[in-house]
Amino acid sequence: MAREYKPQIVTANDLFEGDVVYFTASHDWVRDLGGAVVAYSKEAAETLLGHASDQQDKVVGPYLAEVVMGEDNRPEPAHFREAFRTRGPSNYFHGKQAEA
Amino acid sequence: MYKYNDFDEAFVRNRVAEFREQVERRVDGSLTEDEFKPLRLKNGLYLQLHAYMLRVAVPYGTLNSTQMRQLALIAERFDKGYGHFTTRQNIQFNWPRLKDVPEILELLADVEMHAIQTSGNCIRNVTADHFAGAALDEIEDPRPTAELLRQWSTDHPEFQYLPRKFKIAITGAPNDRAVTKAHDIGLRMVRSEAGDPGYEVIVGGGLGRTPMVGKTVRDFLPKADLLPYLEAIMQVYNLSGRRDNKYKARIKILVHETGLDEIKEMIEEAFERQKRDFRGPPSELLEMIEEAFAPPLFDNTQSLAFDHAQEANPAFRSFVETNVAAHKNPAYGIVSVSLKPIGGTPGDATAEQMRTLADLAEAYGHDELRVSHEQNIILPHVRKADIPAVYARLREAGLATANIGLVSDIIACPGMDYCALATARSIPIAQQISTRFDELKLEREIGPLKIKISGCINACGHHHVGHIGILGLDKAGKENYQITLGGDGTETATIGERTGPGFDAEDLIQAIEAIIETYLGLREDTSETFLQAYRRVGAEPFKQAIYARPEDEARAA
């Protein structure tokens, strides 16, 4: 049986700052996962990643990451690595958590 | 200390100018990331989880006060006010912006530093005993050799595209503080029967996914033969090392798959050829390097101030017990400054702390500092009479933690708090262990114990050679930690044995506590260290202590 498809978003690191960014519906990049466009099918995810990968002048290493849909239908990280990427390191109050 | 000559200076400046252009071309879109990535990596610039990371080489772990102050300046201006000292004796900055990196490299060049060959499949920064030039047990300072190797390996055209990265470590002392047996090449200074210093050459050690203790390919190599012999090893590796599989590309796999006898033969054969054609480095160069590492002019005045301070101040006495090692000059001591405050991040120093260390090196330490692979800073030459004053300043700066070699002196890689390769976090585990054992007030009672933590199988945290090693993994979407016991990174190098299934973070600290309680219960007396006890009784009592807990039995039932 085919594995059940889980919703995905496209994430990358900003070319200039190096920080974590997410791909939006208007094919732009935002700092907050909540602003990411969610792909609900494998095909939609591939298309999205294709568009994101065309933006090499803005970001580095775009890839698909699974999300779970939370309250208000906002995407939340499915894996702990992605959860850390939304916050920053745990030893100092640095990175996204300090900028929110 | 080695001073750049005109050639070194021009070489480093040219590399900065070249990288500045490369960054500009990446920013204006003329270079793609695929084109730019190998170029930035050649200059030590990685992209990590939350930001870029710049890895700066500290050749053989040696710094002077001017360099340390410059690192402080960079930390303040381009990072978040701190730097991270690593198990490769380097320093990493965790938050630089791409556009600032050329300027950072320029600031480094101003103090004869760079980030070249801190990444990629080349010969990396040569590491050395952090007590080099000071240790009582030393045959000779290994740093002139390390510097020669740095010059020989930097930009060497034959070594730019090796099958995989290549790490060399060197020690001048029989007590191995440089983990030479866990490097691609380890060099241990020994004396010939005639009493001449030379090297035992160890090849094929390494940690990572296939941990191996290096094997001796030469019991004694005369000093003059070092470069042609190493070239012979590199030649054998370059020709026969595997390039078909990244995970089998390190020289340890070649040595293992070929067999020791055959690899020795291959090296000796190549060595004969190399030696015939080899015209050694010019003797002026060797003399210049030797002179650069001549011992400082020691002040041999004896004083009782050191002894009196220990009698008067128990906290100072306890600092001396753990953090001061025997110096070859009896009027001096080697002061290890712990970057492992209780609950802190192993290896981190703030800009302010770096400046304090620089000031102390200048005022009391013949202007020398060392970075240890155990992520601490060493003041290698401090007059005993000055150690009380140094201690007082360290206390003010939050740098007087008296825990060198004890349970809270933990090595931890950056783990998933920073590293893009990590499978779990390391730093919070180190923080929890050190906090817990501080609460228990058992640290001194436990005695010498090395805990080393890696956040992935690549083993930057040297977990395989920790007396207690911890490896963080991703087990079905949850951080999980495997424990190894009995590892040893010294001249009696041993790879630790895995105890069994791993633990979730919540249960890990309890397991570590159970292991240590077991040791305290079974040791013959207080002089039997954890490692000695483990070697005597084996893994079984420890396994029982961590797995035969009531909830596990209930689960098994």
Instruction: Compute the distance between CA of residue A20 and CA of residue A32 in angstroms, rounded to an integer.
Output: 9
pLDDT beneath 70, residues of chain B? 549-557
For residue B556, the model assigns a pLDDT of 44
Answer yes or no: do B98 and A96 touch at CB < 8 A.
no
At residue A18 the predicted structure's pLDDT band, cuts being 50, 70 and 90, is very high
For residue B31, the model assigns a pLDDT of 97
Name the closest residue on chain B to residue A95, using Cα atoms: B50
Name the closest residue on chain A to residue B25, using Cα atoms: A57
For residue B557, the model assigns a pLDDT of 40
Q: Which two tokens stand for residue B470?
A: 């911890």
For residue B280, the model assigns a pLDDT of 84
Which DSSP symbol is given to B128?
A: E
Q: Is the pLDDT assigned to residue A70 strictly greater than 80? A: yes
The string of pLDDT tens digits covering residues B32-60 is 999 999 999 999 999 999 999 999 999 99
Q: Which two tokens stand for residue B523?
A: 């040791």
| Contact list, A89 vs chain B (CB under 8 Å) | 50, 417-418, 427
Q: How many CB pairs under 8 A join A and B?
A: 71
The string of pLDDT tens digits covering residues B107-165 is 999 999 999 999 999 999 999 999 999 999 999 999 999 999 999 999 999 998 999 99
pTM of the model: 0.96
Q: Measure in Å the smallest separation between the Cα of B93 and chain A Cα atoms.
A: 13
For residue B276, the model assigns a pLDDT of 94
For residue B554, the model assigns a pLDDT of 47
Nearest to A16 among B99, B425, B428 (CB): B99
For residue B303, the model assigns a pLDDT of 83
At residue A2 the predicted structure's pLDDT band, cuts being 50, 70 and 90, is low
The string of pLDDT tens digits covering residues A27-36 is 999 999 999 9
Answer yes or no: do B98 and A15 touch at CB < 8 A.
yes
Q: Is the pLDDT assigned to residue A60 strictly greater than 60? A: yes
Which DSSP symbol is given to B466?
A: S
| Contact call for residues B114 and B107 (beta carbons, < 8 A) | no
**Single-letter code of the amino acid located at B517:** E
Residue A71 phi, psi dihedral angles, 5° rounding: -60, 150
Name the closest residue on chain A to residue B37, using Cα atoms: A60
What is the predicted ipTM?
Answer: 0.96
Write out the E strands in B135-243: 168-171, 185-191, 197-203, 215-222
Compare B282 and A84 and report the one with higher pLDDT: A84
For residue B186, the model assigns a pLDDT of 98
Domains identified in chain B and CATH numbers: 6-110 (3.90.480.20), 127-290 (3.30.413.10), 305-396 (3.90.480.20), 411-556 (3.30.413.10)
Q: Measure in Å the smallest separation between the Cα of A73 and chain B Cα atoms.
A: 22
| Contact list, A84 vs chain B (CB under 8 Å) | 49, 416-417, 425
Q: Is any Cβ of chain B less than 8 angstroms from the Cβ of A20?
A: yes
Mark B370-407 as b/e (b = at least 16 C-beta within 10 Å): bbbbbbbbbbbbbbbbbbbbbbebbeebebbbbbbbbb
Q: Is the pLDDT assigned to residue A75 strictly greater than 90? A: yes
Name the closest residue on chain B to residue A53, using Cα atoms: B33
